[in-house]
Structure 1
């Protein structure tokens, strides 16, 4: 089952089950989060909860909703401060070589390359422990709260101080924290983590800065377990033509960490177990256009696709004027 959140022609929020180009509206559900919390309270999984409340056919097609930009991220929170966006890096086979390629001409950055290779090897050696055991912790980063998320087909707003505006095609895990503090995984979605790789290239300690950008995920939430091998395509379109295209791989067969290990090392922190909160976690990638010396520009269109996740995730690129200037802090 694949779920979307969308707005009808009056702006009313709805949850729908995708069936080809048709949408079955889930009765009484204004958000995926409240649907999930109801499922938890009723002892159901998401599919059982949808079956329990029933659905009705929407008069609008899925294509129409996407074209009019009324499809929302498939999971969010009405208070963006209660939606945490995070991620892990160096999790996929090949991701260390991609990272090194980004840095390879920086003669003064050998320490970063050494640390990258070392952390990746830790993942190879200890990122997939036996069931029930705790493995090595991955690289982890904070990206922002729900205010940084843009919906499918909307534009990323790259700040005017950014040195790069590059895609990162990934899978995301979507979670709700139950009223007893237990994390519940609703499923997975395509994601574009979108970062400033030129800033990161200067020194790996700038990674935290480079991640504080917009992101997108969806348009569909795939409910249930993740296939072990997944192959998708990442594209950049410019002026109606494909500027760059490459396959990206995911699923545990293509990762040096198990999903269970990545999830444990996020949710082991008690501040991430606040009841009712939403978590969106990017699992990493080994495929970046910047590693092939691609320089994006305003008007470019990113497309992340994978057959198992339905419609592709598409976003364009715009440059946003800074909302804050040096010297504007005032004393009280």
Structure 2
């Protein structure tokens, strides 16, 4: 399966192959103004065809500070991207009250996404925050505006689960924390099984550790039906709009009795797929 990532280097956009690792050299291919989503569509998802004829630029490890990794297919204007997701999708959370379609929420526009290494802002009056290790589906609106599936990535849908537990109608507020997203776009259908580990550190020491399982086999709902129902709403159709859809999580540190705090360092190791997201939580000051 092909894996691509996009980045900005010296003010220009480039594409690379594979999952970019911290502290390593990168081989980048200039896009020369082309939109990566268009190239993926034209090539049928063939990474070799996307990079063919593009003269690579090698960035040594010591120059990585000049490279800014981007969320997959992030448009030039963050307002052209919508970040959303579904809740209570997994079998471990299923009960007799489950509906035929899971609840959907809007998390924000493109500026709500952060790549690994960047801090994740949490509202200053958050009640109880948790991580949520998830598969994230990426869609781009075609010329008629219909969202077309491009591939998947992995993310951390940070959530004020305490606010939701206090009042189920406040899910929309609970989701207004920034989210982490891997810059790697995996071209292909969403994986059936993903396994990994969460590590939370406070003041340099591990304060909580746990495992997670996700993937389409873990879902209580049929994924194609979920997405078809969602994108049947024409209000979500717009040419070129990028949709990042978080499809739900396994149990989190909150369910393990852990309480997060400002400055906690959260690492999600999607071990089965070689992807790691590490971000520090930052409680935002309340407005005066």
TM-score between the two structures when normalised by the length of structure 1: 0.77
1:28 aligns with 2:26: no
Report the CA distance between 1:17 and its aligned residue: 1.2
Cα distance in 1 for partners of 2:67, 2:45 equals 29
1:146 pairs with one of 94, 99, 110: 110
Residue in 1 that maps onto 2:124: 160
Cα distance in 2 for partners of 1:173, 1:155 equals 22
Residue in 2 that maps onto 1:70: 68
Q: Secondary structure at the match of 1:271?
A: helix
Cα distance in 2 for partners of 1:251, 1:314 equals 20
- Alpha-carbon contact 1:36-1:46 (below 8 Å) kept: no
TM-score between the two structures when normalised by the length of structure 2: 0.88
Unmatched 5+ stretches in structure 1: 97-115, 123-135, 326-332
Cα distance in 1 for partners of 2:246, 2:185 equals 14
Residue in 2 that maps onto 1:131: none
1:279 aligns with 2:243: yes
- Alpha-carbon contact 1:15-1:30 (below 8 Å) kept: no
> Residue by residue, what CA displacement relative to the aligned partner does 1:109-128 show, whole Å, maximum 9, x if unpaired?
xxxxxxx7411xx4xxxxxx
- Alpha-carbon contact 1:246-1:287 (below 8 Å) kept: no
Q: Secondary structure at the match of 2:159?
A: coil
Report the CA distance between 1:157 and its aligned residue: 1.3
- Alpha-carbon contact 1:37-1:178 (below 8 Å) kept: no
Alignment of structure 1 residues 4-15 onto 2, 5 Å: 4-8=5-9, 10-15=10-15
- Alpha-carbon contact 1:219-1:312 (below 8 Å) kept: no
Cα distance in 2 for partners of 1:68, 1:168 equals 30
Residue in 1 that maps onto 2:97: 118
Alignment of structure 1 residues 165-184 onto 2, 5 Å: 165-184=129-148
Cα distance in 2 for partners of 1:88, 1:4 equals 25
- Alpha-carbon contact 1:156-1:215 (below 8 Å) kept: yes
> Residue by residue, what CA displacement relative to the aligned partner does 1:49-81 show, whole Å, maximum 9, x if unpaired?
4144546252234x974x788322223121111
Report the CA distance between 1:226 and its aligned residue: 2.7
Unmatched 5+ stretches in structure 2: none
* Number of equivalences: 284
Greater strand proportion: 2
RMSD of aligned alpha carbons? 2.5
- Alpha-carbon contact 1:156-1:214 (below 8 Å) kept: yes
Report the CA distance between 1:35 and its aligned residue: 1.3
Cα distance in 1 for partners of 2:109, 2:263 equals 25
Q: Secondary structure at the match of 2:56?
A: strand
Report the CA distance between 1:235 and its aligned residue: 1.8
Q: Which runs of 4+ in 1 moved over 6 A?
A: none
1:239 pairs with one of 203, 210, 214: 203
- Alpha-carbon contact 2:45-2:187 (below 8 Å) kept: no
> Residue by residue, what CA displacement relative to the aligned partner does 1:228-286 show, whole Å, maximum 9, x if unpaired?
12211122122223221221111222111122122112211111120100000001012
CA 69–311 in structure 1, closer or farther in 2 if over 3 Å, else same: farther
Alignment of structure 1 residues 1-332 onto 2, 5 Å: 1-8=2-9, 10-18=10-18, 21-28=24-31, 34-40=35-41, 42=42, 44-47=44-47, 49-54=49-54, 56-61=56-61, 65=64, 70-96=68-94, 117-119=96-98, 122=99, 136-322=100-286, 324-325=287-288
Cα distance in 2 for partners of 1:294, 1:18 equals 34
